[in-house]
């Protein structure tokens, strides 16, 4: 009989784990149900551009997003395919991505390698392209009173 463990239990047991991604918030780097990430237990404060695995305690869900700013008491974090940021307290973070397999057919890519560093250089440009593309709908929503925060942006 196989025992199911939480991600935290797996990280405590082995120090790392391989997990399949779900969702499109980290596109184009990671793909919904196609990419596998290698996560290690968080042992030190994260740095800008690290990809943090954290758990929202009120929703009991895991989220894998990138650190865009280090704060005194936590981080500002955003998915690579999102325009909104979320403040994440230090204690929510359970692990950090050390590498990934983009699809099952791909080779392992370390977060320290040249390919990944090249991807990081393109993030700012892609963020501004997404933000600009979303601007007309954001203005329209504000003008029409539909200004509700959405997790799709």
pLDDT of residue 108 exceeding 50: yes
Residue 40: which of 112, 144, 124, 106 has the closest Cα?
112
- The tens digit of pLDDT for each residue in 9-46 reads 999 999 999 999 999 999 999 999 999 999 999 999 99
Determine what percent of the chain is predicted with pLDDT higher than 90: 66
Task: State which residues form the domain around 16.
Answer: 7-143
pTM of this prediction? 0.81
Q: Is residue 116 part of a domain?
A: yes
The answer to whether residue 61 sits within a structural domain is yes
Residue 149 lies in a domain: no
Look at the chain and report how many structural domains it folds into: 1
Whichever domain contains 38, its CATH number is 2.10.109.10
**How much is the pLDDT for 1?**
58
Is residue 138 domain-resident? Answer: yes
Map tokens 């998915």 to a residue. 79
Residue 151 lies in a domain: no
Residue 152: alpha-carbon gap to chain centroid: 14
148 in any annotated domain? no
Establish if 22 belongs to a structural domain.
yes
pLDDT value at residue 152: 44
User: Is 152 inside any structural domain?
Assistant: no
């Amino acid at each position: 009989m196989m025992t199911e463990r939480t991600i935290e239990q797996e990280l405590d047991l082995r120090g790392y784990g391989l997990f399949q991604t779900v969702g499109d918030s980290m596109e184009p780097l990671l793909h919904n149900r196609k990419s596998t990430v290698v996560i290690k237990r968080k042992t030190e404060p994260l740095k800008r551009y690290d990809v943090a695995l954290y758990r929202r305690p009120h929703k009991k869900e895991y989220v894998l997003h990138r650190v865009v700013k280090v704060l005194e008491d936590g981080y500002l974090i955003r998915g690579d395919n999102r325009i909104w940021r979320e403040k994440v307290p230090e204690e929510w973070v359970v692990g950090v991505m050390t590498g990934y397999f983009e699809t099952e057919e791909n080779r392992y890519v370390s977060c320290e390698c040249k390919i990944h560093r090249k991807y990081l250089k393109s993030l700012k440009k892609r963020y501004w392209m997404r933000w600009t593309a979303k601007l007309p709908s954001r203005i329209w929503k504000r003008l029409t009173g539909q200004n509700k925060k959405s997790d799709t942006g």
